A and B are shown apart, each in its own frame.
Chain A
Amino acid sequence: MAGGDKVVLVTGVSRDLGRRCARAIAEHPSVRRVIGVDVVPPRGDVGDVSFVRADIRNPVIAKVIAKEDVDTVVHMSVIATPGSSGGRTTMKELNVIGTMQLLAACQKAPSVTDLVVKSTTTVYGASSRDPAMFTEDMNPRGAPRTGYAKDVAEIEGYVRGFARRRSDVRVTMLRCANVIGPHVVSPLTSYFRLPVIPTVLGFDARLQFLHEDDLRAVLQHAVASDVPGTFNIAGDGIMMLSQAVRRLQRPSIPMPGFAVGSLGSALRSARVADFSPEQKSFLTYGRGVDTTLMRDVLGFEPRFTTAEALADFAASLTPTGGRAERALAGLAERLPSTPATTDPTGPTGPTLSLAGGDSGG
């Protein structure tokens, strides 16, 4: 632990990503002490982080803040999928009521001077009427009515309300693009881990990724710096879903939108992957966010581009497709000297190998 003087409270450390982020914050020189809070203890090594078992849904959290003399609160206990926590009701309670209680506790605590909230770009929604790149001042084209997107929209509303009431507290909201990496378990990564990837027929979503290392780095950066505001956080560049699937060397099955929906609920009940309606519209239309403010105002530069983040994630997967690519590679190899290929029709055939993959889930 370094010799700084910040005392940071991090919520949601039981999950892998939260735990790693808390450890990363603890390593920063300006931080003296990190207190991790969650309802269940983290499964992995928390390092220098001291864990306090507390539920942010009840007022106990105020006592933790007061007792430990916390000055910076990092709120990242916003869960994207009900899978891990029970049902949708529990998820909503954790997300919305948890945030309300936490903010209420922060408002009462005079020691709190900084609040960092990890939000997500899901708040912009995904529809056919979206602009290509969302900037921070844009609103979703249709207000989200269900699920995660609605939770996040409400959480952001409460955070804005808090910022109004406690104008002396620096509030930084980080709208992170889909976090991807070898250790991340999220609806999107479990989708990409499916052995055969279902896609929506006739649509190709634009995707942006944020590498998990960059998520840690940006949280560290946001805790250490004192820039208020809302920022989109994403790696450079855009990638199409079809392109990502090809880079992951996975076969894909295009199917009509309604079929993807029912397949999604089947996969959800089988606990293989989670397909919420907003996930489906995201995989149909995609979303892009503008990261100019992240660079110019927040002063953060992600280490991984979208493509590099995906490549790092792909390295942890066993490819289940890629037969056409191998055929082409073999053909190209033999070509310059003598084209000793036996199958001239091979290279033009598209890939669709049925894979009995064991890397799902």
Chain B
Amino acid sequence: MIPVGDAEIIPIGTRGKPGRGTGKQPSSAARGLAPKAKTPPSRKPAPPAPDPAPAAEPGAATVDVPTPTTTEAPATSTAVATTHERHPLAGIPTSAWLSAFQQAAREVFGEHWEPRLAHFLAFLRRRVTGDYVVDEYGFDAEITQRFFIAALRPIAQQWFRIEVRGIDNIPTEGGALIVSNHSGTIPIDGVMTMVTVHDQTGRHLRALGADLVFKMPVISQLARKGGATLACNEDAERMLRSGELVGVWPEGFKGIGKPYSQRYKLQRFGRGGFVSAALRTGVPIVPLAVVGAEEIYPLVGNIPALARLLGIPYIPITPLFPLLGPLGLVPLPSKWLLEFGEPIRTDDYDAGAAEDPMLVFDVTDQVRETIQQTLYSLLMQRESVFK
């Protein structure tokens, strides 16, 4: 160490003061850069205190679920009235729970809440004890009608504002095969068609799904419960023979996974297996054109390598999807038009017609052309994508 003596100490830097220059008053730029040490902490704790209450109230009001609020309100009010002599851990008295429960039941089920609640409980009990019937494809009519369709109906009616034309072309009874175009990256059009057909005709549309649907966990379970089965000749013919209304989307993944630039251009209609199934069973083919589903997730890109790795046909890139994360999964609210065309009769062909490939191709082309023409005319009629 060398003693420095009275050498003048020249400070490096600004002696801990922000900015340079005089060393007395920091420049305005430096003041802007400096962390605001004092003022924010004093201000911050203040807003949160009044904040939660106003935030919670509008939330509860807009969501409009009376159950939690009403169960809480009377319960807490009675609890408050009695707590001054109760131990804080004693909980809420049974009578308070009871009155809260009654009030909640009245809110949810209306004035005649007792029979309704009993009805609902009976339903729950049937579900819990397994006391319900599924058909041989695993179709659970009760849960489909009371849950799946009820949950999807608002999406069909309010989000996509589905408009239906030619619903009379669906026979009211007996087997029929509805053949539709397929679009929209995710087969929402199939689900929406099922909901619409059920609401308009009261019949369940039994969808024929791709192999992949039944390979995927959860999806396969839901599909079977919702009435779908594997798109194979055996199942299609079996369903049609037993007089079911069967829906098929012969374009398959070529249809839903086509880029947005090719929208409303029908892809190849498989190998015409659906036609031979209809010919063998003699049921009418009802062509269905769906307009609007192409725009829900405009497919602008694909990651083929990753898709191959995961064993799925494509990984969609839409203008919103990977960009906005899960929010990008919300479909765009396009306006949908569903037009059911004139049924194509198949019962006046000879018995061996299904074995005649030329005839099968002809009928396939006829169905395809009908749907394509209907698509074009619907596109001409619609004002815009969203209106």
Contact = CB atoms under 8 A, between A and B. Distances in A.
Interface of A: 128-133, 135, 138, 200-204, 206, 237-240, 242-247, 249, 257, 285-286, 288, 322, 324-325, 328-329, 331-332, 335-336, 339-344, 347-348, 351
A335 B218 contact: no
B121 A347 contact: yes
A206 B135 CA distance: 10
Given A128-B220, A344-B97, A324 B138 contact: no
B138 A238 contact: yes
Interface in B176-216: 211, 214-216
B230 interface: yes
Majority DSSP secondary structure for residues of B touching A: helix
B131 interface: yes
B234 interface: yes
Contacts of B221: 202-204
Given A243-B134, A246-B129, A339 B98 contact: yes
B217 A203 contact: yes
Nearest to B115: A336
Contacts of A132: 136-138, 229-230, 234-235, 238
Interface stretch (B10-18, B99-107, B318-326, B358-366): B99-107
Contact of B235 (A131, A328, A332, A344): A131
B117 interface: yes
B135 A340 contact: no
A245 B130 CA distance: 8
Given A128-B214, A204-B224, A240 B232 contact: no
Interface string B242-283: 000000000000000000000000000000000000000000
Given A204-B224, A329-B125, A332-B125, A131 B234 contact: yes
Contact of B133 (A133, A135, A237, A246): A237
Contacts of B218: 201-202
B381 interface: no
Contacts of B130: 239, 242-247
B118 interface: yes
A204 B101 contact: no
Nearest to A200: B217
B168 interface: no
Nearest to B118: A335
A328 B138 contact: no
Contact of B114 (A200, A335, A351): A335
Contacts of A206: 134, 136-138, 224
Given A202-B221, A341-B101, A344-B71, 14 more contacts: A132-B235, A133-B238, A203-B220, A206-B137, A238-B138, A246-B130, A322-B129, A332-B118, A336-B118, A339-B101, A339-B117, A344-B101, A347-B124, A348-B124
Interface string B121-148: 1101101111111111110100000000
Contacts of B229: 132
Which of B118, B129, B215, B218 is most buried by chain A, counting CB atoms within 10 A of its CB? B129
